[in-house]
């Protein structure tokens, strides 16, 4: 039934070989069964989780770890700048996370990305 509609169109007559290459007999049978039952085809794309996705609890663990460091506030500015100790840097913080949670295998690049995207902290003088 679906193929008959395509053949009746003048454009489809010229390009029928392209349509025939895309539509297999299994697809036609499945669509005809769905049409006879009155159901529509479900799209199954995008339902799977990404294989390299980091779980939300790991992200929360990183955020809590960053928040655990003492923050110094700027004294002489109109804006509310926040600083971490000048003895720290992101690499040291990442190493401290891995020492505190050895089961957590977070890469430095991901830790740095969370630090840069979710926190507006600087290192050094207050």
Contacts of 108 (CB under 8 A, 6+ apart): 90, 91, 94
Give pLDDT tens digits for 66-113: 999 998 888 777 678 888 898 999 999 999 999 999 998 899 999 999
Cα 126 to Cα 120: distance, rounded to the nearest angstrom: 14
User: Two tokens at 100?
Assistant: 């505190």
pTM (two decimals): 0.62
| SS3 of residue 43 by DSSP | coil
> Which H helix or E strand runs over 84?
strand 82-84
- CA dihedral (104, 117, 52, 94) in degrees, to 10, reads -30
Domain edges within the chain: 2-37, 56-123
């Amino acid at each position: 039934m679906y193929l008959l509609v395509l053949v009746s169109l003048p454009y489809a007559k010229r390009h029928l070989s392209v349509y025939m290459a895309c539509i297999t007999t299994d697809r036609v049978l499945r669509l005809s069964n769905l049409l006879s039952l009155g159901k529509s085809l479900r799209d199954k794309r995008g339902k799977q989780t990404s294989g390299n996705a980091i779980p939300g609890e790991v992200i929360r663990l990183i955020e809590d770890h960053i928040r655990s460091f003492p923050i110094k506030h700027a004294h002489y500015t109109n804006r509310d700048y926040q600083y971490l100790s000048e003895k720290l840097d992101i690499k040291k913080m990442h190493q401290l996370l891995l020492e505190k949670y050895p089961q957590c295998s977070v890469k430095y690049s991901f830790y740095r990305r969370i630090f840069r995207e979710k926190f507006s902290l600087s290192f050094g003088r207050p």
